[in-house]
Amino acid sequence: MRQRQQRRPGGRRGPGSPGAPALGPLPGYVGYVLRRAQSASFRHLERSAADLALTPGQFSQLAAIEANPGINQRRLAALFGLDKSTLSPAIDALAARGLVQRTRAADDGRAWSLSLTPQGRQLLARLRAKVEAQERIIAAALSPVERRRLMDALRRIEAALDAAEQPRSSP
């Protein structure tokens, strides 16, 4: 009698399936499971929003610029925990597509203030609808209480890891 292979969503063999490579301790690591969930979320959004040609990161950038009209690139980078040089090419790409407008900051002539163009607002609204549809899929997998607990736990994990990066003062 032939043993049936376990299938995971997406058609990938699950750990323990005959012929499947072993993952070792990875499935027991919170960070690994978080990364897998993030990857699944990004893959789903990229497929569902392929017609818009925007990434989840670009969605975040556009949403933050919409929420903070006139924000400069340095503050936007800090908002995402990035360095300005990492964010600059992403903003260049959004500006080249006509989604973001840069103007010299009134309070600092060296800085650029960012705002969405009408086209940027329109594309963001279309992408937000796809993100909200994805959020409904995620919500269907969790009860409201589980969702609140998950969000709280993820925020605590982020805070704990950020705190662990802070240099400790010596006595």
Q: Which two tokens stand for residue 2?
A: 């032939």
Q: Return the exposure string of 107-144: e unless at least 16 CB atoms fall within 10 Å of the residue's CB, then b.
A: eeeebbbbbbeeebeebbeebeebbeebeeeeeeeeee
DSSP symbols for the chain: -PPPPPB-GGGPBPTTSTTPPP-TTGGG-HHHHHHHHHHHHHHHHHHHTGGGT--HHHHHHHHHHHHSTTEEHHHHHHHTT--HHHHHHHHHHHHHTTSEEEEE-SS-TTSEEEEE-HHHHHHHHHHHHHHHHHHHHHHHTS-HHHHHHHHHHHHHHHHHHHHHHSPPPP-
Q: Which CATH architecture has domain 56-140?
A: Orthogonal Bundle (1.10)
Decide: 93 and 79 in contact? Cβ < 8 Å: no
Rounded to whole angstroms, the Cα distance separating 165 from 11 reads 38
For the cut 70, the answer to whether the pLDDT of residue 11 exceeds it is no
Q: Which two tokens stand for residue 82?
A: 């990035």
pLDDT score for 9:
47
Domain spans in the chain, listed from the N-terminal domain onward: 56-140
Over the stretch 99-117, which tens digit does the pLDDT of each residue have? 999 998 777 777 889 999 9
Q: What's the first-to-final CA gap in the chain, in angstroms? A: 68
Over the stretch 66-112, which tens digit does the pLDDT of each residue have? 999 999 988 999 999 888 888 889 999 999 999 999 998 777 777 88
